[in-house]
A and B are shown apart, each in its own frame.
Chain A
Amino acid sequence: MQSGYSSRSAPRGDTAPPARGLAVRLHLDLPLLVGLLFLSGISLVVLYSAGEQSPDLIIRQATRLGIGFAVAFAIAQIPPRSFQYWAPWLYALGLALLIAVLLLGEVGKGAQRWLNFGLFRFQPSELMKIAVPMMAAQYLAGFHLPPRPRAIAVASLIILAPVLLIVKQPDLGTALLIAGAGGFVLLLSGIPKRLIFSVLALLALAMPAIWYLMHDYQRRRVLTFLNPEADPLGAGYHIIQSKIAIGSGGWFGKGWLNGTQAYLDFLPESSTDFIFAVLGEEFGLTGILVLLAGYLFVVSRGMIIAIRAQDCFSRLLAGSLTLTFFIYFFVNIGMVTGLLPVVGLPLPLISYGGSSLVTMMAAFGILMSIQTHRKLVAS
């Protein structure tokens, strides 16, 4: 595996030498950085309104974002080869922590997700959001693409082991995200289309079994999604209220700080999972399109970085992380607009708080590292 790697990691001759600006020397990718700063700006503006103009909330969110950017910058300094080297160790550590969580983790709101280290609490599933695609990419990069059936099977095992442990916590949302991140590595590695469609068909057939295995609260969410009016005060309340907020926004919205739904407390979780509804109400379709443009810009930049990366590992990893970011905002917006069931994912970079913010910024740090450590080689 190691010998195969060294020959293929040779730089591609056809790449144009990247501009060696100050940004690159600091290992920063300017387009990505601009995109992220733009989204962070939107976050602070919308939060100010959603959080009833509490300066406290804004300061705390700005601090969190600051920490996130610092983490991204720090990680960007590490060359991708180190990630490749450390991937198995990181993955093993993550698995060990997940098992530890199941054995001695803390229970909060009916699920066991946290490890308490005295000073701080840590959610090992956050680590796995990066460690799983990294490990899958590292493993598949040891072969030529497309991977053989055996390699696909082993990679699937690598992905499924932590996913099952997280399902057991139970944290279905995160488990699906991680399965997605690992799945994207497989998809990008060029596994046969037939396989993709068979798996999709199989999943569709397995629906009844999955339904049977679900927890009551999960079933209720699905039922509520199908018919929110059935429980107008419970889970259905969120969706009904957020649709009212968004729908009443119209083309241009009611204007900043003029939204009524969040202010009058009709919209619950208005600063966290349902912040999109506040944006929709106050800035209308125009504001939403601006946000979506920002997201698409970041995703596109991520995919460009992936395509231009110089080795298989970096490509798979960058591609997977970027597509996972897409899943975040797609699922959140889908859920707030009533297209998807409520699964409790924040709107990435916009929602208040969330330990996932740091993880997400770490992923962007990796993307920057991949982009800025490319070797300058002309043929």
Chain B
Amino acid sequence: MKRPNGADRNAAIHDYRDTRIFTVRAISGLIIVFLLTLILVARLIYLQVLSHEHYSTLSQKNRVTIYPVPPIRGLIYDRNGVVLAENIPTFHLELVPERIHDMEATIQQLRRLIAIDEEDVTRFRHDLERKRSFDSIPLRFRLNDEEVARFAVNRHRFPGVEIKAGLTRHYPLGPLMAHVVGYVGRISEADLKRIDAANYRGTTHIGKTGIERSYESFLHGKVGYQQVETDVLGRQLRILDQTPPLSGQNLHLTIDAHLQQVAVDALGGENGALVAMDPKSGEILALVSTPSFDPNPFVSGISATEYQALRASLDRPLFNRAIRGQYPPGSTIKPFIGLAGLELGKIDKDSTIFCRGIYFPEFRSQRPYRDWKRHGHGHTDLEKSIVESCDVYYYELAYRLGIDRISSFLARFGFGAPTGIRLPGEGRGILPSREWKRRNRRQPWYPGETLITGIGQGYMLATPLQLAVATATLATEGVHLQPLLVRTLESPDGSRTAQHAKVINRISIIDPYNWSTVKHAMTQVVHGPHGTARRIAQVEYRIAGKTGTSQVFGLKKDEEYDAEKLAKKLRDHALFIAFAPEEKPRIAVAVIVENGGSGGAVAAPVAGKVIDAFMRSKGE
């Protein structure tokens, strides 16, 4: 045995202290445990002894179940009262998992009565995992009358399975309005994160795209509740009390469905887009993207094969070209560059530039810049440059202005920024500048790129909507409005709230006369003897316009070689912007026909037909 030394004694002291500290803490812990349990007991005495009578009564009355009553979704009309989105009565099959003992067997037996495909079952199982067991989960939507009858006869065999009558969203005009109105679909996990789940209790669908999505909060309304007395089997005996739901608001759009149809017909099956707006009010009159798709299958759940076909189509019907398609504006940018030249004193109305069909820049350049007209336009002033769309004039003007001035001037018309239209997924286009290229391409700006920006090529991209807004701004001599899609919100009680376009910017220029110079030149594009769009001229009113043709870049590597398709895909995009009448503009239009070729020959007539239909409908 070792003699106890200092270290051992120290250890013993520590040991004793450790034990004491722990014991004190452990006993305090135990005391706290007892105290907290006492709180529980106090609470239970409160519930079970003091409030016993209250809860006992509630328990007696607990044959009363509360059901949510979903609100009726607001309707959507065009500006003339044509219905674009409505609710039609339908029946669907719903299951309450808690009340079904053998889910597999139940589904199998239901299948013998009602057509239920694999996709329905997959979706149902997906919901089953996420919903609570006492929630009613839909298995099949839109039963036909025969299926309803067949189930009704066999109802007693299926406890926990019910046929629910409901309203299904329907879009009577189908593809015509799909890119504007959008569609509703079943609420997904992602949707649940952005909504107040309590208000969507009982609601199965939510706006997925278009106005259905961006105006969801107006369209949906407020959920109501119904207190229903049930018997032990859950059969409803009578309604005791209800808080009625508050229907969503009806929307009256600025869109004219008739004009929209005219635009679709005018595009004649080509891929393209057209945006028409009222420059004074900012109201969008037509917003077309072709090809389109039928939104109705999306409501009850589109089949995977159908959806895949839409996605895979080379014509991209789901893609809203009018607000998301980004194209080089080509020569349609010239009136704006011309205005910049006048405004910044780089040219005046009558100064000319000599065009030989080819332009040799002052800076050292690898190549000369060509005009579309081989032998040139000769002596060219501003009006001629717009009317005949002379490229050399704009190479020189862009060179004199410099990219940064071009960029900041065009920005005032809304290029390079979203227009703020209330539709999801709007493209912002590209307004190139030194700063933009440094940030996005990590490269310095080359002078040659300034020249091609002058004719709307190179990096610059704009959506058809941006072009329409810029044209409207030109038409109103500088009133830059945020485009408006909804004119009036109509509450269920019938009260109406008018909507007005926001003024984004009032462009003030030094010499207001410059507006009319440019506008007059644009009128000559249509009405002048040499105008590139003279074929659409009308006698009754004067149209101001500008054609554009923008180059399409080469094929992507993985695209298949198909002689006919290839030839088409390499063709230029045809563009046209216009407003009418010249003196008192009431409509501004931007058109793009993908791979259409010449702007004057292909795009201008489309705009012409729309403007004509509009002017005629106004009875002038």
Q: A188-B22, A234-B198, A264-B232 are in contact. Are A244 and B59 (CB under 8 A)?
A: yes
Q: Mark A248-277, 1 if CB is under 8 A from B, else 0.
A: 111100000000110011101000000000
User: Does B48 contact A233, Cβ atoms closer than 8 Å?
Assistant: no
Asked whether any CB of chain B lies closer than 8 Å to the CB of A99, the reply is no
User: Does B49 contact A292, Cβ atoms closer than 8 Å?
Assistant: no
Per the CB 8 Å criterion, the residue count for chain A at the interface is 62
B375-402 residues at the A interface, CB under 8 angstroms: none
Q: Mark B20-60, 1 if CB is under 8 A from A, else 0.
A: 01111111011001101101110111011101101110110
- On A, residues with C-beta under 8 Å from B are 7-8, 10, 12, 108-110, 144-146, 184, 187-190, 216, 220, 230-234, 241, 243-251, 260-261, 264-266, 268, 280, 284-285, 288-289, 292, 295-296, 299-300, 303, 306-307, 312, 315-316, 319, 323, 326, 330, 333-334, 337, 339
Shortest CB–CB separation between residue B244 and chain A, in angstroms?
16
How far apart are the CA atoms of A234 and B8 in the complex, in Å? Answer: 64
User: Does A323 contact B33, Cβ atoms closer than 8 Å?
Assistant: yes
Cβ 8 A contact of B40, one of A145, A231, A333: A333
User: Does B44 contact A288, Cβ atoms closer than 8 Å?
Assistant: yes
User: Does B55 contact A190, Cβ atoms closer than 8 Å?
Assistant: no
Asked whether any CB of chain A lies closer than 8 Å to the CB of B68, the reply is yes
- On B, residues with C-beta under 8 Å from A are 8, 11, 14-15, 17-19, 21-27, 29-30, 33-34, 36-37, 39-41, 43-45, 47-49, 51-52, 54-56, 58-59, 62-63, 65-66, 68, 98-99, 129-130, 132-134, 189, 193, 197-198, 201, 225, 232, 234
Cβ 8 A contact of A231, one of B8, B29, B39, B198: B198
User: Does A249 contact B26, Cβ atoms closer than 8 Å?
Assistant: no
Give me 18 A-to-B residue pairs in the complex whose CB atoms sit less than 8 angstroms apart, sorted by A's number. Answer: A7-B8, A8-B11, A10-B15, A110-B189, A145-B17, A188-B22, A188-B25, A190-B25, A232-B66, A233-B201, A244-B58, A247-B59, A248-B59, A250-B52, A292-B41, A296-B34, A307-B23, A319-B29
User: Does B59 contact A216, Cβ atoms closer than 8 Å?
Assistant: no
How far apart are the CA atoms of A192 and B201 in the complex, in Å? Answer: 50
Shortest CB–CB separation between residue B16 and chain A, in angstroms?
9
7 extra A-B contacts, CB within 8 A, seeds A187-B25, A330-B36: A7-B15, A189-B21, A189-B22, A241-B62, A248-B58, A330-B40, A337-B40
Across the interface, name the chain A residue whose C-beta is closest to B234. Answer: A265
B189 CB contacts on chain A under 8 angstroms: 110
How far apart are the CA atoms of A231 and B201 in the complex, in Å? Answer: 10
User: Does B30 contact A303, Cβ atoms closer than 8 Å?
Assistant: yes
Across the interface, name the chain B residue whose C-beta is closest to A260. Answer: B59
Shortest CB–CB separation between residue A138 and chain B, in angstroms?
15
User: Does B129 contact A109, Cβ atoms closer than 8 Å?
Assistant: yes
Q: A261-B62, A300-B30, A303-B26 are in contact. Are A246 and B44 (CB under 8 A)?
A: yes
Interface centre among B24, B47, B66 (most CB of A within 10 A): B47
B132 CB contacts on chain A under 8 angstroms: 268
How far apart are the CA atoms of A80 and B34 in the complex, in Å? Answer: 28
Across the interface, name the chain A residue whose C-beta is closest to B39. Answer: A339
How far apart are the CA atoms of A334 and B39 in the complex, in Å? Answer: 9
B51 CB contacts on chain A under 8 angstroms: 247
Shortest CB–CB separation between residue A47 and chain B, in angstroms?
17
User: Does A233 contact B25, Cβ atoms closer than 8 Å?
Assistant: no
B40 CB contacts on chain A under 8 angstroms: 292, 330, 333-334, 337, 339
B134 CB contacts on chain A under 8 angstroms: 265, 268
Shortest CB–CB separation between residue A309 and chain B, in angstroms?
9
Q: A265-B98, A299-B33, A334-B40 are in contact. Are A248 and B55 (CB under 8 A)?
A: yes
User: Does A234 contact B197, Cβ atoms closer than 8 Å?
Assistant: yes
A307 CB contacts on chain B under 8 angstroms: 22-23, 26-27
User: Does B45 contact A233, Cβ atoms closer than 8 Å?
Assistant: no
How far apart are the CA atoms of A184 and B99 in the complex, in Å? Answer: 43
Q: A233-B66, A234-B198, A296-B34 are in contact. Are A261 and B59 (CB under 8 A)?
A: yes
A7 CB contacts on chain B under 8 angstroms: 8, 11, 15
Cβ 8 A contact of B48, one of A10, A231, A251: A251
A230 CB contacts on chain B under 8 angstroms: 198
How far apart are the CA atoms of A249 and B132 in the complex, in Å? Answer: 26
User: Does A284 contact B48, Cβ atoms closer than 8 Å?
Assistant: yes
User: Does A233 contact B8, Cβ atoms closer than 8 Å?
Assistant: no
